[in-house]
Amino acid sequence: MKDDAAAKNKIAKLRELLNEYSYCYYVLDQPQVPDAEYDRLFCELQVLEKQYPELIVASSPTQRVGEKPRSAFTQVPHKIPMLSLNNAFSIEDVTNFDQRVRETLEVSEVSYVCEPKIDGVAISLIYKNGELTSAATRGDGTIGEDVLANVKTISSIPLRLRGANFPAILDVRGEIYMPKAGFAAFNQAAEKAQEKAFANPRNAAAGSLRQLDVRVTASRPLDIFCYAGEIEEMTHYQILLQLQSWGLRINREIKVVQGVRGCLDYYALMLKKRDSLPYEIDGVVYKVNQLKQQQQLGFVARAPRWAIAHKFPAQEELTKVTAIEFQVGRTGVLTPVARLDPVFVGGVTVSNATLHNIEEVWRKDVRVGDTVIVRRAGDVIPEVVSVVLERRPEHTAKVVLPKHCPVCHADVIKDEGEVAARCSGGLFCLAQVKESIKHFASRGAMDINGLGEKLVEQLVDQKLIQNVADLYALTTSAISALARKGEKSAANLIQAINKSKTTTLAKFIFALGIRDVGETTAKALADYFLELPRLMGANAEELEKIADVGPTIAAHIMAFFKQKHNRELIERLLNYGINWEKPQLKGTALLGQTFVITGTLSMPREEIKAKLQDLGAKVSESISRKTNYLVVGEDPGSKREKAQKLGVKVLDEKELLLLLKKSKI
C-alpha cells in the first residue's frame, strides 16, 4: 500500500513536470530542458503506468501526442491522426523492434525505408484535385492548427501539384524546418536588432510557422521534406517517389535497406554525415516498406508498430556546475570554463564546457551549483547553453572576474565595451610565453634571424627558455642538442641573437608586445620620450599627448610597466647588453608637438619635415584634435576647414619659417 502511494505521488509529479515542459515547448516556443531529459521522464512515466495501469488517466502525457492548439488559430480535425513515433536509443532497442515486426509478420527478414529524422514541425497538407486547400500542425494528434496562409509562403511547398493522376484528395505528411544557414543568419540579425534569438532551428521553425502575421512567416527561411502520403497499392518508398513526381520535396538521403543490419548501417552513415548536412537531424526513422505489412502490424495507442525513431546520442544534456575556472590563452585572453558533473552528451563523456567570456557568463547568469543545459555538436567544444533556474539552489553567487591572472598573477584588464578580459603579464606569463617570444624575435621587433615558430616551440617545451630574456643565455651546445639542429645552425642562431642586441628604442618598445602598441605607436613613443625610463614612468596625461595614444592604449602601456615581473625582465634584457643609440636632436623646442603639412610650398616638403623632426616634433598625414599646427601652402584642400573646426592653429609658410627661426634651427 505504501508503494502504491509512493508510485501515485511520483506519477503525479512526472505528469505535472512533463505537462509544464510541453507547455513551454509547444505553446511558448521556449524549451526549458533538452529533448533527452524529456524522453527520460516520459519513459519513466511509461514504466510506472505499466506497473500501475489502474493509475492511468486520459490526460496523462502518455495518452496523447502533443499539446492543444493555440486558440489564436482555427482548429482543423485530421482525417487520419498524426501520431508520434516510439523511440529507440540503442542497438538493442532496434533489434527488439525488428524482432517484434518479424514475429508478428511471421517472416525472416523485412524491407525497411530509412530516412533522416528532421528536427522540425510536423505538418499535414491536404490537396483537393491537385490544389493545396489545407495545412495543419499536429496539435494533439487529432486536431491541429490551421496554418494554411503561413504555409503558402514557403516556396518549396507547391500550391498546385505537377502532372496528373493524383487522388481527388491527397493527405501529405511532412516536416517543416529551418536550414542551419538560415537559422544562423536569422539569429545574427535578431541579435544585431537586439531582438530575441531562437534556441535552436526547430523552435525557429515552430515560431515562424505560427505567426499571426503571415508577412513575418514569409520573411523566415523555412523549407519542407515530405515523408508520407495517402496513396494505395504502393510501397512506402514508391509513395515517396510519386510525391516527388507531383512536385513535393522529399529527402535525398532516404534509402531502402534489408533487415536490421541494413538499418544499423544506415544509422552509422547518417551519424557520420550529421554535421555536414545543411539541416538539423536528431536521429533516423525506420519504416516497414510494404503497406500491407504496415496494415497488418497496426498501431498502439500513440504510435505505429511498423515504424520507430532511432535517436542519435543527445547533443544536449542536463548536468551541474561544480566550479567555474578561468583559463589563459596564448594571447592572454581569459576564458571562463565550467567544471561539470560528468555527463554523456554528443557521444562522449563531458566534464568541462566553455563559457566563452565573462560577459557571456553574466548574460546567461551561470553560477556554481546551477543545473545547466550542456550542448556538444560534432567536434565542437562543449558549451553551456542555459541555466535551469527552477533548479537553482539557494545562496548561489554571481561569478566575479578575477583581478589577477590565475597563471602569473599579473593584473587582469578588461576594456570598456569589450567582452574579453586579458592578462597584462605578456612577457612572463607562462600561458603566453611562446607567443611573446615569437613576437619578440619577429622582423619588425628584435629581428632574430633563424628563430622561427617551431624552434621557439622546441626551446620552450624542452624548458631551455621560459621568457624572452632567456634567449640571451642560450648556448650553442644547448641548441645543437635539439632535434635537427647541427652545430653550424646553432652557431648561426647564437650570432643572430647577439646581433639583435644592437637595435633602436622604437623596435625594443614594439618587441615588448604591449597590447595595441604597434610599430607606428612604438616609434611615436620613442620619439616623444627619447629614453625608456621616462616611458616606463609616464602617466596617462603624458601618454595621451602623443597623437597615436588615446585613453585605452595609455591604460595598456601603464598596466604593462606596472607589473613587477615585466620591469625585472626589461632590466635583465638591458643587463644582457641590449642597447640603442640615443637620438641626436639639435633642439627640443617643439618636442611633443604634432604638425600636418598640406598644399604646395616653396620649400620641399621633406626638408620641412626633417627640420620639424630635428626639433622633436612629429609630422602626421591626418588632422585630429591632437594636431597642434596645420602648415598650409597653395591649394590646401579640405584640411584647412577641418583644422578650423577642430581649433587647430593654421600657419602659412612665412609663419612656419618664423617659428623655426625662433626655435633656433
Q: CA 88, CA 99: separation in Å to the nearest integer?
A: 13
Nearest to 179 by CA among 221, 125, 123: 221
Position with higher pLDDT, 60 vs 569: 569
Q: CA 623, CA 625: separation in Å to the nearest integer?
A: 7
Complete domains list, the chain, with CATH: 2-63 (1.10.287.610), 75-90+113-307 (3.30.470.30), 316-391 (2.40.50.140), 423-580 (1.10.150.20), 594-662 (3.40.50.10190)
**Residue 71 confidence (pLDDT):** 58
Mean pLDDT check: name the lowest of 118-127, 168-177, 534-543, 544-553.
544-553
Indicate whether 69 pLDDT > 70: no
Q: CA 366, CA 338: separation in Å to the nearest integer?
A: 9
Indicate whether 2 pLDDT > 60: no
Give whole-number Cα distances, 570 to 331, 390, 439, 531, 536, in Å: 20, 53, 15, 14, 10
Mean pLDDT value across the chain: 88
Indicate whether 585 pLDDT > 70: no
Cell of 139: 496539435
Work out whether the CA dihedral 346, 360, 31, 392 comes out positive or negative: positive
Indicate whether 665 pLDDT > 60: no
Query: 3-state DSSP call for residue 622?
Result: coil
Tell me, what DSSP letter sits at residue 274? G
**Residue 1 confidence (pLDDT):** 42
Indicate whether 539 pLDDT > 70: yes
Indicate whether 67 pLDDT > 90: no
Burial label, 271 (beta-carbon count in 10 A; 0-12, 13-18, 19+): middle
Per-residue pLDDT band for 376 (boundaries 50, 70, 90) equals confident
Per-residue pLDDT band for 355 (boundaries 50, 70, 90) equals very high
Mean pLDDT check: name the lowest of 15-29, 62-76, 460-474, 618-632.
62-76
Work out whether the CA dihedral 71, 72, 77, 83 comes out positive or negative: negative
Query: Pairing between strand 618-620 and 629-632?
Result: unpaired
Indicate whether 234 pLDDT > 90: no
Per-residue pLDDT band for 610 (boundaries 50, 70, 90) equals confident
Mean pLDDT check: name the lowest of 7-21, 82-96, 240-254, 474-488.
474-488
Residues 6+ apart with CB under 8 A from 57: 63
Per-residue pLDDT band for 378 (boundaries 50, 70, 90) equals low
Indicate whether 26 pLDDT > 60: no
Nearest to 145 by CA among 204, 198, 82: 82
**Residue 548 confidence (pLDDT):** 76
Question: Would you tell me how many other CB atoms lie within 10 Å of the CB of residue 78?
Answer: 21
Percent of the chain residues topping a pLDDT of 90: 51
Indicate whether 400 pLDDT > 70: yes
Position with higher pLDDT, 464 vs 59: 464
**Residue 28 confidence (pLDDT):** 66
pLDDT tens per residue, range 636-653: 888 888 898 888 999 998
Q: CA 585, CA 606: separation in Å to the nearest integer?
A: 17
End-to-end CA distance of the chain: 108
Rg (CA), the chain: 36
The beta-strand segments (E) located in 522-628 are: 579-580, 594-598, 618-620
Indicate whether 547 pLDDT > 80: no
Per-residue pLDDT band for 447 (boundaries 50, 70, 90) equals very high
Per-residue pLDDT band for 583 (boundaries 50, 70, 90) equals low
Find out whether 42 and 49 touch, Cβ atoms under 8 Å: no
Nearest to 383 by CA among 311, 328, 316: 316
Which stretch of DSSP H or E encloses residue 560?
helix 551-562
Position with higher pLDDT, 357 vs 67: 357
Written in H, E and C, the secondary structure of 461-511 is HCCCCCCHHHHHHCCHHHHHCCCCCCHHHHHHHHHHHHHCCEECHHHHHHH
**Residue 27 confidence (pLDDT):** 53
Find out whether 307 and 404 touch, Cβ atoms under 8 Å: no
**Residue 29 confidence (pLDDT):** 62
Question: Helices 91-105 & 259-273, crossing angle to 10 degrees?
Answer: 150
Q: CA 623, CA 597: separation in Å to the nearest integer?
A: 10
Position with higher pLDDT, 486 vs 410: 410
- Kindly state the average pLDDT of the residues 171-193: 91
Per-residue pLDDT band for 584 (boundaries 50, 70, 90) equals low
Contacts 24+ apart (CB under 8 A), 537-543: 537/561
Per-residue pLDDT band for 13 (boundaries 50, 70, 90) equals very high
Indicate whether 660 pLDDT > 60: yes
* Residue 45, CA atoms < 13 Å, CB-side half-sphere: 24
Give the amino acid at 315. Q
Find out whether 480 and 580 touch, Cβ atoms under 8 Å: no
pLDDT tens per residue, range 102-125: 999 999 999 999 999 998 999 999
Instruction: Quickly list DSSP for 430-457.
Output: TTTHHHHHHHHHSTTTT--TT--HHHHH
pTM of the model: 0.61
Indicate whether 586 pLDDT > 60: no
Cell of 504: 633602436
Contacts 24+ apart (CB under 8 A), 572-578: 572/469, 573/468, 573/469, 573/472, 576/469, 576/472, 576/473, 576/501, 577/472, 577/501, 578/472, 578/500, 578/501, 578/503, 578/508
Indicate whether 65 pLDDT > 60: no
Catalytic residues: 117
Give the amino acid at 137. T
Query: Pairing between strand 281-288 and 307-311?
Result: antiparallel
